[in-house]
Amino acid sequence: MNILHHINAEEIDQLLSNKTFKDKDLPLPLVKKASLDTPLTFGENEILPIKALSNFQIRLFDLADNKTVLPSDADVRNLLTPKQGEAWLAYSSESKLDIDNPKLISQLGINFDVDKKIIFNSYKVHSDSQTLPQAIFQDLKDFVIIFSKSQLLNNLQVNEAVSMQVAGKFKTSATVRWADIFAGSLNELGKLLGSNESVKIQLGAAAEADFNIEVKDDFSLVICKVADNQYRISLKKAVSQNISAKANLSIGVSLQNPAQLTRMIAPMIEGIFDLPENKLKEIAEKIKADQWLDEAERQAVGVIIRRLGLSQGVDIKQIPQKIAETEKNVLELVKNIAQTKVQLGFSFEYQRLKSEEAFLQAVLSQSILEQNHQHILFFRISNLISNLIDKKEANIEKYLHETRYQKRVSWGLGLDFGRWGALAGKDNKNIEWSVRQNVQKKQQVSFVGTRIYRATEWKNKINWGVSFTAQMPSFSFENIAKAHEFQYSLQVIWEQVESETNKEELLQIIDLAVLWGIISEEEFDKYAFELENTLGNTLNISYAFQIQVPNEAFIMLLPVLSRKINGLIGKALGAGMNFLGYFDARKAAEKRAELYAPLWATYLSKYEENINWANLAQTHLRNQYRDLANYEGSYQRNSPGGYNYFQGLIHLNPNTATQVESFVAGANLLAKGIGSELPYEEVIQKSFEQMQAFWTQSHHIRSLGYYLLDIAKNPNIDVFHKIIRTLTIQYQANNSLQTIQIAKK
């Protein structure tokens, strides 16, 4: 495209004369805010009209000189390669699509807002000894704009790039396991119960659902020629053009195949009624036909009545209708759970992306670029990826946070520690920041801080950790984001992998489920019996416990978390001690909390004193539980199973008291930062660094889960039911992977 006739060539020649790229006294920009008054057309058969280019500028672009690098250049600076003797000219302009026909927009498959401006950039490389007028005239004669496929293929040279920034949308798809969807969401199903019992569902681990995802945001698309017959495309979040506090970002999710949802209803219904689906149908049909029910069926009716919270005197003829109503409610609820969970999961991953990071980056041959130019240009991500997969001439380098495209994803929907990065070793801390600005320099910030610990006990592998998230739903009101503008969440995880499960280990697992409010103490024996029967002859068993504290609950907990209340913390440290089946007083979490709270409270206040903690525990327990008292009193520093003793835990974790103080100080800093509206940089990461000190030990993490829930039960706080608690069990049986999930409303 020759646009020389739009520019005053004589003025450029006179202004720049014989100057080269090496001259230091050049005016910047070289050409400022010129306009092209002729509309342009591109695309197949020239059917894509663009209004005349405005704010047309020409400037030097030197990666080594920040004075020549604008914020809009951030999208290309990592794609171009500085070479001795080479320099760039950057061309910038603005325009809009000249289309007011919605039918044509739909026909073309355009996925950006035609009513908003498009910012174009072109980066042309030259010898730094070339005169500037010569270089400019050469570029303008064969000008390259990203919309033109022919210009891209014929005129873009190696180490040159073109880009555009638009307010648009891209569409993609994902396949997600139902097990990942229900992890952390199954408690919603429990809300259909009229009782306070847990919900357990069992499904094949391979059960999946396919989703369409549409993301609306400000995007930057870059195409860079990296070698002969080789181009790199990069799609990134752009500096937002939105000037209001409300962010442009919008993420929509829909289920592709409703049949995948329908297939999930049977296990959901069985989880609600704690009865096989065929048994429910048989009972309902018998009641409708007024047939006699045997003893087992009458007991099943009693279970249905109890689970739905119906009165014992309810007319039995209402049961079939109640079952049908529940099935209808389950269908709608599961659909909402699935779409909401995938939306939140994708949003979590997308918002973690820094503006300078590409969420889709690929290297293509010229022929692949030619075939897919419109897919790239109009953000048809699903079409593009489908066309690139398994092509020798195409390589997907990155998709979201993955180094390769994966059709099946988890995005933190389940319990995948890998989503926090490849963290090697036993003790890991990971911090991720993403800061985005709009044109008014307002900020939208995302923070994820994670502490993970991995250990091996005998043949069992154990992971535990906490993820602390702070994300802004909108842009800041001022140029620097403040702590009160964030939404905060906390996720506590315990994962245990065993080659096979024995009864003693299974009781420890069920105890943790009680400790973290996933099942009640009254359900302990029921689940011990059921899980022993189910898992008895299975292999490679994984138990994953999860507590999720959303923003509305976390903000209510924070005032208590920010105070060192030794009695409350001592109660949690007592509850978090190990289950010991040979002492009745150590079998129940609440009993441990009651017995050991005074001991841990004393330790927290007097940890610096030279006290024989074993003797103190023996004296404290002697009147009620002599056997347990003697056990505690017998502790020696080298006693086997030291982690089962009060003093043993103090010896193994000698910094427990100071780590508690650090956690409280971090929570206090965050509470003050929110209340005083302090800049986020003074608060969030420092708060995380202090709080995470209490997340490194297995006893501490078990106690932390109990502590959060114990505070949440306080009538003045009352957010217990807002905190999500889930146990996911995966195991190998009959050469297939199976999943059990348990949760409580």
CA distance 275 to 282: 11
Assess whether the previous peptide bond of 550 is cis (omega < 30° from 0): no
Cα 447 to its chain centre, rounded Å, is 11
Tell whether 198 and 257 lie within a shared domain: yes
Question: Last residue of a domain, which of 365, 389, 414?
Answer: 414
How many structural domains compose the chain?
A: 3
Least confident of 53-57, 278-282, 486-490: 53-57
Reply yes or no on whether the pLDDT at 411 is more than 50: no
Last residue of one domain, picked from the residues 157, 180, 198: 157
- The pLDDT of residue 42 is 57
Lookup: tokens for 465? 């950790």
pTM of the model: 0.76
Residue 733 is assigned to a structural domain of this protein: no
pLDDT in tens, 553-587: 999 999 999 999 999 999 999 999 999 999 999 99
Same domain, 519 and 555: yes
pLDDT at 622: 94
Lowest mean pLDDT among 11-15, 220-224, 496-500, 509-513: 11-15
Of 326 and 196, more confident: 326
In a domain, 736, yes or no: no
Structure tokens at 438: 């709009």
Residue written as tokens 């993609």?
Answer: 172
Residues 136 and 181 occupy one common structural domain:
no
Q: Is residue 520 part of a domain?
A: yes
> Which pLDDT does position 407 carry in this prediction?
47
In this predicted structure, what is the pLDDT of residue 40? 61
Domain assignment present for residue 725? The answer is no
* pLDDT exceeds 90 at position 71: no
Structure confidence by residue, pLDDT tens digits, 477-500 = 998 999 999 999 999 999 998 887
Which residues lie closer than 8 Å to 466 by C-beta, 6 or more apart?
450, 451, 490, 491, 492, 493, 692, 695, 701, 704
Tens of pLDDT, residue by residue over 156-207, are: 999 999 998 887 777 777 888 887 787 767 777 777 777 778 888 887 756 7
Average pLDDT of the chain is: 83
Q: What is the pLDDT of residue 406?
A: 47
375 and 478 share one domain: no
Closest CA to 218 of 232, 195, 235, 231: 235
Q: Is the pLDDT of residue 402 over 60?
A: no
- Determine the pLDDT at residue 263: 82
**Residue where a domain stops, chosen among 137, 157, 177:** 157
Binning the chain into helix, strand and coil, the percentages to the nearest 5 are 40, 25, 30
Provide, rounded to the nearest whole percent, the portion of the chain with pLDDT above 90. Answer: 37
Q: With a cut of 70, say whether residue 446 has pLDDT above it.
A: yes
Q: Is the pLDDT of residue 410 over 50?
A: no
pLDDT value for 230: 95
Same domain? For 253 and 171 the reply is yes
pLDDT of residue 686: 97
Q: What is the pLDDT of residue 64?
A: 74
Instruction: Kindly state whether residues 142 and 49 are assigned to the same domain.
Output: yes
Both 618 and 510 in one domain: the answer is: yes
pLDDT of residue 107: 58
**Close Cβ partners of 297 (under 8 Å, ≥ 6 residues apart):** 282, 283, 286
pLDDT score of 41: 61
Question: In this predicted structure, what is the pLDDT of residue 261?
Answer: 83
Task: Specify if 737 maps to a domain.
Answer: no
- Higher pLDDT: 625 or 243? It is 625
More confident residue, 35 or 673: 673
Going by pLDDT thresholds of 50, 70 and 90, the confidence category of residue 699 is very high
In this structure, are 145 and 177 located in the same domain?
no
pLDDT score of 420: 32
Q: What is the pLDDT of residue 149?
A: 85
Q: Which residues span the domain enclosing 72?
A: 4-157
247 token code pair? 């962010």
Closest CA to 543 of 519, 575, 572: 519
| pLDDT over 50 (residue 89) | yes
| Residues 356 and 467 grouped into a single domain | no
Q: Are residues 399 and 421 in the same domain?
A: no
Give the pLDDT mean for 443-471.
Answer: 85
Highest mean pLDDT among 230-239, 313-322, 566-575: 566-575
Q: How many CA atoms lie within 13 A of 108 on its CB side?
A: 26
Q: How confident is the model at residue 276 (pLDDT cuts 50, 70, 90)?
A: confident
More reliable by pLDDT, 729 or 63: 729
Q: What is the pLDDT of residue 417?
A: 33
User: What's residue 554's pLDDT?
Assistant: 98
Residue 645 has pLDDT above 70, yes or no: yes
Are 35 and 62 in the same domain? Answer: yes
Residue with the larger pLDDT of the pair 667 and 84: 667
pLDDT at residue 409 tops 50 = no
The DSSP output letter for 637 is T
How confident is the model at residue 565, as a pLDDT? 96
Determine, yes or no, domain membership for 471. Answer: yes
Task: Tell me, yes or no, whether 56 lies in a domain.
Answer: yes
CA 591 to mean position of chain CA atoms: 36
Is 252 in contact with 84 (CB distance < 8 Å)? Answer: no
Residues above pLDDT 70, as percent of the chain: 85
In the predicted model, is pLDDT for residue 602 greater than 90? Answer: yes
Banded pLDDT at 104 (limits 50, 70, 90): low
Q: What is the pLDDT of residue 44?
A: 56
Closest CA to 555 of 661, 475, 470, 467: 470
Alpha helices by DSSP H, listed for 309-458, are 319-352, 366-377, 381-388
Kindly state whether residues 69 and 29 are assigned to the same domain: yes
Is the pLDDT confidence value at 605 over 80? yes
More confident residue, 235 or 7: 235
731 within some domain: no
